[in-house]
Chain A
Amino acid sequence: MNAIDSSALDGSFLARGHSLRAWLTTLDHKRIAILYAAGITFFFFLGGAAATLIRLNLVTPDGALMSAESYNKTFTFHGVIMVWFFLIPSIPTTLGNFLLPLMIGARDVAFPRLNLTSWYLYIGGGLFTIAALLAGGVDTGWTFYTPFSTMFSNSNVFLVVAGVFITGFSSILTGVNFIVTTHALRTAGMTWFRLPLFVWAIYATSLVMVLATPVLAMTLALIALERGLGVGIFDPALGGDPLLFQHLFWFYSHPAVYIMILPAMGVVSEIIACFVRRRVFGYRFMTYSMLAIAVIGFLVWGHHMFVAGMSTYASLVFSMLSFVVAVPSAIKVFNWTTTLRKGQISFEAPMLYALGFVGLFLLGGLTGLILAAPALDVPLTDTYFVVAHFHYVMVGGSVMAYLGGIHYWWPKITGRLYSEAWARFAAILMFFGFNLTFFPQYILGYEGMPRRYHSYLPQFQALNVLSSAGASILALGYILPVVYLLWSLWRGDLAGNNPWHARGLEWQTSSPPPSENFLRPPQVREAYAYDQPEP
């Protein structure tokens, strides 16, 4: 059986050179995507290990597992790794890299060498950061608030900031590459409004990456400068302004949330269209809403600072804009739901992930509205309510979509099928594990438990235990796919070129694709032409 398999995959990009050298010097966007996937999986489990320690520590009110110092370093480790080395690069650099050229009928991204450089920057920055985090660690939280980070923390702030700074360039270069690829390399007939929503999502994400990341880079450089030279741009004791740091930081970090969620929205749109056998309802509004999110997302950063000492008027303006940015997200949820109407729905594993995404993203988004009202944000901010909110959006949203996308395109990438039963089981397990972990945190936050607490009042224990129990189920849910996906590489059945009978251009070539992507030019039609026969 193996002999037949390997001969069937012979012409693919995977067959071109098996040496480490061949992989590490590759300019093929598909191979670079796989390099990224390896890095991202590594960082995900590293950050996940930190999360496990956090949840274990919070089983008892006195935080018996770790000292306060280790706990503070652990949640910082979790935040830094998950935000910059998993969530932000996850979908764009893996699925985006693999699929963007295929979906627009191109042979590669616009700048392949730049693409590989981005990966090296990502891995370099990542290893640098891990080294700094392990050798002493850093205890500022991933937000590096001044003046704590510049004047009072005795940890490796400088090195971690440098690691994140380096990785920022990976983000910027990837964004530049994708923007140019989308503009310049669309094949003949691929007009803007024939693009799959995933391409729109990656395009909108790249705009945000390119315009927001430089602000983060320079802000971090100023932190390093302040820490190194002891001058006070952000330190009030030396005449600086700590709120300036928060403004600059959130000017990047709020759009960064959209870097994490927009690609997820793109993935989910592809999956739903495929398993409902319908064009996504309201395609044009879906594209407009993505661009609206990308643009308005730049104007709402102040809602992180309602209690920070900003003026009342500024708070109200930011609150108003935050409600406005919720409208396009609402449009998307309604459109996905309506796409189901009168469809031919089937429930393969990717579809389960996509439906899970819609549900969890909805809960995360709705609680975001509560936080957008400053009067309610005052008691809820910096509590577990916020922690639950952004985990619903980022873990329930982005991670579910990422895994959904990995399952959906797995046959495309590897040419193999995984065990459908195990995949469905893992998706359902994750959904329940996730809710059990994070729903209690909403209640904890409402009852007033602040975040980043190493120990807590005894009355919060029951809900914390519940949350930790959920986390262990969730952890199992995340380990399962690693096992059966790797297994499928060995023993999985051959997938055929288009196992889902999907309509995107990426399915018009063989699975896995050849190095040059298309042996004959793909046939371009409207996106999601499920009412027409397969080409």
Chain B
Amino acid sequence: MSACSAIEQQYDDAVQQREAATLGMWVFLATEILFFGVLFASYTICRVLHPTGFAIASRHTDMLLGTIETAVLLISSSLIALAVRAIKLDQRRVASLLMTGTAALGVAFLVMHGFEYLREYREHLIPGLDFMQSGPYAPSVELFFCLYYFITGFHSLHVLIGVSVILVLAARVARGSFGAQRYTTLELTALYWHLVDIVWIFVYPLIYLIGRSG
């Protein structure tokens, strides 16, 4: 998907190019949902097979950090939405700042996740690397943490990609590569960032919340 707004030779005009890029992004996001869908489906089935073990395991997760992370991502999503609005109004400086803010919150999210992983490492909760739990439910706990790392790791990878792209774009916005007439790339990046956010909205209750009540 083109970052520059010059019309590529296969398109007739800017409108067509914009439509193609937008549709392409939506189709791509549909595949992303299926990627995460498989993980959520597997997680759900394992949870049904091991209700108690998963409930115990999810108490090992850090709900406070998880909640803060959720808030951070939600705020970052609204910042990038504002950035898109700003660029449409040709306020490049504001847009660039807002995007830097988005990226900063994304980094904050990753750092907090890093702390979570670190704590879990200290508690010997990392399957394959350092997993030392005992008790009747240890295998279920191990299974939970395996899926936990896979799901959150795959999500964090998305965050990392998003942060990198947003930082690059923020710099280019500051240099004036985008404006009220040229903002498709920004808009699509925002779309992607919202998806990353929405996926987390599912991860958060599935991993951190369910099972805490019991």
State if A and B touch, Cβ cutoff 8 Å.
Answer: yes
Could you list which residues of chain A lie within 8 angstroms of chain B, going by C-beta atoms?
Answer: 101, 106-112, 114, 172, 175-177, 179-181, 183-185, 210-211, 213-215, 217-219, 221-222, 225, 228-233, 238-241, 244, 248, 516
Q: Contact between A233 and B42 (Cβ–Cβ < 8 Å)?
A: yes
Q: How far is the CA of A221 from the CA of B147 in the complex (A)?
A: 12
9 contacting pairs across A/B (C-beta < 8 A): A112-B10, A172-B31, A176-B27, A214-B31, A218-B35, A218-B38, A230-B127, A233-B146, A238-B143
Q: Contact between A214 and B34 (Cβ–Cβ < 8 Å)?
A: yes
Give every chain B residue within 8 A of A175 (Cβ-Cβ).
27
Q: Contact between A110 and B34 (Cβ–Cβ < 8 Å)?
A: no
Supplied contacts A107-B10, A181-B20, 6 more A-B pairs, CB within 8 Å: A110-B10, A112-B8, A214-B35, A239-B140, A240-B46, A240-B143
Residue among A179, A217, A233 having the largest count of chain B Cβ atoms under 10 Å: A233
Closest 8 CB pairs of A and B: A229-B128, A108-B10, A218-B38, A214-B34, A184-B20, A231-B146, A214-B35, A110-B20
Residue among B31, B42, B142, B150 having the largest count of chain A Cβ atoms under 10 Å: B31
Give every chain A residue within 8 A of B46 (Cβ-Cβ).
233, 239-241
Give every chain B residue within 8 A of A179 (Cβ-Cβ).
23, 27
Distance in angstroms from A350 CB to nearest chain B CB is 29
Q: Contact between A248 and B38 (Cβ–Cβ < 8 Å)?
A: yes
Q: Contact between B39 and A218 (Cβ–Cβ < 8 Å)?
A: yes
- The A contact surface, by secondary structure, is helix
Distance in angstroms from B44 CB to nearest chain A CB is 10
Q: Contact between B38 and A215 (Cβ–Cβ < 8 Å)?
A: yes
Give every chain B residue within 8 A of A181 (Cβ-Cβ).
20
Give every chain B residue within 8 A of A229 (Cβ-Cβ).
127-128, 146
B164 at the interface (CB under 8 A from A): no
Would you give the 0/1 interface string for B6-40, flagging 1 where the beta carbon is closer than 8 Å to chain A? 00111100001001100110011011101101110
Q: Contact between B45 and A244 (Cβ–Cβ < 8 Å)?
A: yes
Distance in angstroms from A355 CB to nearest chain B CB is 36
Q: How far is the CA of A210 from the CA of B28 in the complex (A)?
A: 8
Choose one: A109, A111, A214; the contact of B1 (CB below 8 Å). Answer: A111
Give every chain B residue within 8 A of A222 (Cβ-Cβ).
38, 42, 150
B50 at the interface (CB under 8 A from A): yes
Residue among A101, A214, A228 having the largest count of chain B Cβ atoms under 10 Å: A214
Residue among B10, B11, B128 having the largest count of chain A Cβ atoms under 10 Å: B10
Would you give the 0/1 interface string for B144-183, flagging 1 where the beta carbon is closer than 8 Å to chain A? 0011001000000000000000000000000000000000
Residue among A109, A177, A183, A184 having the largest count of chain B Cβ atoms under 10 Å: A184
Q: Contact between A180 and B27 (Cβ–Cβ < 8 Å)?
A: yes
Given A232-B139, A516-B9, check contact A184 B23 (CB 8 Å): yes
Given A112-B10, A183-B23, A233-B147, check contact A239 B49 (CB 8 Å): yes
Count: A-B pairs, CB below 8 Å: 107
Q: Contact between A110 and B146 (Cβ–Cβ < 8 Å)?
A: no
Give every chain A residue within 8 A of B139 (Cβ-Cβ).
232, 238-239
Distance in angstroms from A122 CB to nearest chain B CB is 17
Q: Contact between B10 and A176 (Cβ–Cβ < 8 Å)?
A: no
Could you list which residues of chain B lie within 8 angstroms of chain A, going by C-beta atoms?
Answer: 1, 8-11, 16, 19-20, 23-24, 27-28, 30-32, 34-35, 37-39, 41-42, 45-46, 49-50, 127-128, 139-140, 142-143, 146-147, 150
Q: Contact between B143 and A180 (Cβ–Cβ < 8 Å)?
A: no
- The B contact surface, by secondary structure, is helix
Q: Contact between A211 and B24 (Cβ–Cβ < 8 Å)?
A: no
Give every chain A residue within 8 A of B1 (Cβ-Cβ).
111, 114
Give every chain A residue within 8 A of B147 (Cβ-Cβ).
233
Q: Contact between B23 and A215 (Cβ–Cβ < 8 Å)?
A: no
Given A210-B30, A228-B128, A231-B127, check contact A111 B24 (CB 8 Å): yes
Distance in angstroms from A150 CB to nearest chain B CB is 13
Distance in angstroms from B182 CB to nearest chain A CB is 18
Q: Which residue of B lies closest to A243 (CB)?
A: B45
Give every chain A residue within 8 A of B20 (Cβ-Cβ).
110-111, 180-181, 183-185
Q: Contact between A241 and B23 (Cβ–Cβ < 8 Å)?
A: no
Give every chain B residue within 8 A of A111 (Cβ-Cβ).
1, 20, 24
Q: Which residue of B lies closest to A216 (CB)?
A: B38
Q: How far is the CA of A360 from the CA of B24 in the complex (A)?
A: 37
Q: Contact between B30 and A211 (Cβ–Cβ < 8 Å)?
A: yes
Q: Contact between B143 and A239 (Cβ–Cβ < 8 Å)?
A: yes
Distance in angstroms from B33 CB to nearest chain A CB is 8
Give every chain A residue within 8 A of B8 (Cβ-Cβ).
112
Distance in angstroms from A111 CB to nearest chain B CB is 6
Given A112-B10, A179-B23, check contact A215 B34 (CB 8 Å): yes
Q: How far is the CA of A251 from the CA of B34 in the complex (A)?
A: 12
Distance in angstroms from A29 CB to nearest chain B CB is 9
Q: Contact between B146 and A219 (Cβ–Cβ < 8 Å)?
A: no
Distance in angstroms from A48 CB to nearest chain B CB is 32
Give every chain A residue within 8 A of B146 (Cβ-Cβ).
225, 229, 231, 233
Distance in angstroms from B169 CB to nearest chain A CB is 18
Q: How far is the CA of A504 from the CA of B159 in the complex (A)?
A: 46
Q: Which residue of B lies closest to A232 (CB)?
A: B143
Given A179-B23, A225-B146, A233-B147, check contact A241 B31 (CB 8 Å): no
Q: Which residue of B lies closest to A101 (CB)?
A: B10
